[in-house]
């Protein structure tokens, strides 16, 4: 006795929509019913704007300085440097530090 197409369809798995990835650590966020949460970074994202906020607004900042040696002036390209910043995530976050350094191109002469 062979299955009908409908019977086979009924056994197929449904698609799973995935949550957005945390902009700081890149891991998939958890949806808590209101927001997309990244526990590792201690932040959550608004489902409408994807803007990040701290889970605990009173937590002190991690403040780890950027240690990317490629951010030294001219390390990637001559004249290219980075505006390095400290990690803004809450102290004790379990994800990697995120500094969000911005590349700065030397002004053309
Ligand atoms: Zn994260
Ligand atoms: Zn940097
Ligand atoms: Zn950090």
pLDDT tens string 31-79: 999 999 999 999 999 999 999 999 999 999 999 999 999 999 888 888 8
Cα–ligand 3 centroid distance for 66 (angstroms): 9
Quote the tokens at residue 10: 């009924």
The 3-class secondary structure across 1-48, one letter per residue, is CCCCHHHHHHHCCCCCCCCCECCCCCCECEECCCCEEECCCCEEECCC
Model pLDDT, residue 51: 97
Does residue 82 have a pLDDT over 70? Answer: yes
Cα–ligand 1 centroid distance for 86 (angstroms): 16
Helices (H) and strands (E) counted in the chain, each on its own, are 1, 6
Q: What residues pair up with 81 in beta bridges, in sequence order?
A: 104
Burial call 51-72: b when 16+ CB within 10 Å, e when fewer: ebeebeeeeeebebebeeeebe
Cα–ligand 1 centroid distance for 91 (angstroms): 13
Cα–ligand 3 centroid distance for 21 (angstroms): 18
Cα–ligand 1 centroid distance for 38 (angstroms): 5
- Closest ligand relative to 36 C-alpha: 1
What's the pLDDT tens digit per position in 16-32?
889 999 999 999 999 99
- Stated pTM of the model: 0.77
Cα–ligand 2 centroid distance for 20 (angstroms): 25
Q: What is the rounded CA–CA span in Å between residue 52 and residue 25?
A: 13
């Amino acid at each position: 006795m062979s299955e009908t197409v409908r019977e086979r369809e009924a056994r197929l798995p449904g698609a799973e929509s995935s949550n957005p990835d945390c902009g700081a650590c890149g891991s998939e966020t958890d949806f808590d019913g209101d927001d997309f949460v990244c526990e590792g970074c201690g932040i959550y994202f608004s489902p409408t704007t994807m803007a990040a906020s701290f889970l605990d607004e009173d937590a002190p900042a991690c403040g780890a300085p950027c240690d990317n040696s490629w951010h030294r002036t001219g390390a990637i390209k001559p004249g290219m440097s980075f505006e390095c910043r400290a990690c803004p995530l809450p102290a004790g976050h379990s994800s990697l530090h995120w500094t969000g350094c911005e590349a700065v191109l030397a002004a053309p002469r």
